[in-house]
Amino acid sequence: MLRLSEKIGYGLGDMASSTFWKIFTAYLPFFYAQVFHLSLTATGVLMLVTRIWDAVSDPMMGIVADRTQTRWGKYRPYLLWVALPFAVAGVLLFTDPGMGETGKTVWAFATYILMMTVYTAINVPYGSMLGVMTDDSDEKTVFSSYRMFFAYGGSFIILAVWEPLCKGLGQLLGSPSAQAAYLNPSAWQAAMIVVGLYVAVLFVLTFLLTREHIQTQPKLTSVGADLRSLLHNSPWWILLGGVLTMNFFNAIRYSAIPFFFASVVPADAELNFLSWHFLFYAGFFLAVGEVANMAGVACTPALTRRFGKKTSFIASLLIIAVLCSLFFFIPTHTATGYWLMLAVQVAFCILTGVISPLIWSMYADISDYAELKFHTASTGLIFSSSSMAQKFGGALGGAGVMWLLQAFGYDTAEGVVHQTPEAIEGIRYLMSFIPAAIAIVSALFIAAYPLTTKRMRQIDSELKGLRIGNSANSEM
């Protein structure tokens, strides 16, 4: 068993990464449409086209990280080297250069590509560390649970404070009202400066608190051999399909939430509990979901010990599909409806909290499977596919939301308060039936996943013997 400090340190890394990712997923489409004033069509193309570069850069980073050799290990040094560039790229992404429409479009493309490249450079090595911190499949799930618990903790903090932070900084910068402050581009930039410094510190702490304990023993070291083994790795293909659709589903729902609260839920909506009154807004809704995510993560190790990773994953997805479908029928203008929406959000997020650590633990299992079957320790390359699936799924979801909003007739003109009934109905579909259908597709992929608990115990046993034998031979 590894030290608690390492588990906490590993968790802090995804607290940093998730802080940025949740802002990108939930608020970047809204920023481009309502603050930066980029057209919905251009925003959709931007989010999709930049993934072409990501589809190449993620595996490239995995290959580079697999071949990195330093006194700090293969993957861990990148947490130190890329922490500050990561923060700077985030600030540039939320900066309005004050140009015309063409200049803004070029700036948006350049800064978004830069941000995702830097995200790859730090997140692929960070994820790959799970494969070299422990060789025990159950302990990988524990590490993944710490990772996701801290990730959702970071997400809770940023989603709860982001809108108030932007409004507060906007008012300090001279905006005449809370609404004007929230839509002030300089306020968003200032907020990202604060958040960027916080995130950089978290990554440095992860570097200081963690270690790489496992020395993998690959027999094949060429890039071509790693790629060939990956392309012949059937569990990898299956999980990639499941995770890609899962991230597509998440991105659609998260991207739709700010639009849902801006156009469907009344601006003065409140939750009343005893003598307390809470404003029911997108940030509150999302932040409560992150707490529920944390609860789901805490349940994951016990669930997987009882039911296995695969069964827990599939069951969670199917229940999520039902909950999303039910969301469509909840009233959007009554106090009862607000509580019902929040209850569904809590249940939904508990289940996504169960799934999140399973994904990373299953990629670590696939890395062990690849080492045993193909004799190539391409840990970074395998984990890079998860980052690729996360970003590509997020891009498809974000682009899809933009294009569907345009098809529904959503009006992004400055000063528009009320949307057409068709636009309102479309937003409600984006919160319900559309993500429900995608969740079912993800469940179908996971149903075909072959690395069961029994199979992984066999792989773990055979790998330990292989690593001991290789280590003994290397000492002769």
Q: Report the pLDDT value the prediction gives residue 476, as an integer from 0 to 100.
A: 46
The pLDDT assigned to 419 comes to 83
Distance CA 447, CA 313 (A): 9
Instruction: Going residue by residue through the chain, which has 476 residues, state the pLDDT in tens, using 9 for 90 and above.
Output: 678 999 999 999 999 999 998 898 788 888 998 889 888 888 888 877 776 676 678 888 888 888 888 989 999 999 999 999 999 999 999 999 988 888 999 999 999 999 989 998 999 899 889 888 887 877 888 888 898 889 888 988 998 899 899 999 999 998 888 888 888 999 999 999 999 999 999 999 999 999 998 875 555 456 777 778 778 889 989 998 998 898 888 889 888 998 899 889 988 898 988 778 888 988 889 889 989 988 998 898 899 989 999 999 999 999 999 999 999 999 999 999 999 999 999 999 999 999 988 988 898 888 888 888 877 666 777 877 666 776 777 777 878 888 888 899 888 766 556 788 899 999 999 999 999 999 999 999 999 999 988 888 888 888 777 665 555 454 44
Q: What amino acid is encoded at 96 in this protein?
A: D
Tokens 């790998």, residue?
Answer: 463
Please give the structure tokens belonging to residue 116: 């995702």
* 3-state secondary structure at position 439: helix
The pLDDT value given to residue 55:
64
218 found inside a domain: yes
Number of domains within the chain: 1
Q: Tell me if 223 is assigned to some domain.
A: yes
> Is 476 inside any structural domain?
no
Residue 235 lies in a domain: yes
Residue 303, in any domain of the structure: yes
Structure tokens at 262: 């801006």
pLDDT reported for residue 178: 81
Rg (CA), the chain: 22
CA gap 365, 227 in Å, rounded = 18
Query: What is the domain extent for residue 79?
Result: 4-467
Question: Residue 270 has what DSSP assignment?
Answer: E
Sequence-distant (6+) residues with CB within 8 A of 458 are none
Q: Tell me whether residue 475 is in a domain.
A: no
Q: What is the pLDDT of residue 171?
A: 93
What whole-number distance in Å separates Cα of residue 248 and Cα of residue 164?
Answer: 28
Q: Which of 21, 306, 8 is nearest to 142 (CA)?
A: 8
> What pLDDT sits at residue 414?
60
Report the DSSP beta bridge partners of residue 272.
Answer: 277
| SS3 state at 277 | strand
Residue 194's alpha-carbon distances to 9, 138, 160, 185, 348, in angstroms, are: 22, 37, 15, 15, 30
Q: Nearest 5°: CA angle at 259, between 253 and 264?
A: 105
Which H helix or E strand runs over 233? none
Q: Which pair of tokens denotes residue 94? A: 């939320």
Residue 123 domain-assigned (yes or no): yes
Supply the CATH number for residue 412's domain.
1.20.1250.20
Considering the domain boundaries, does residue 427 fall inside one?
yes
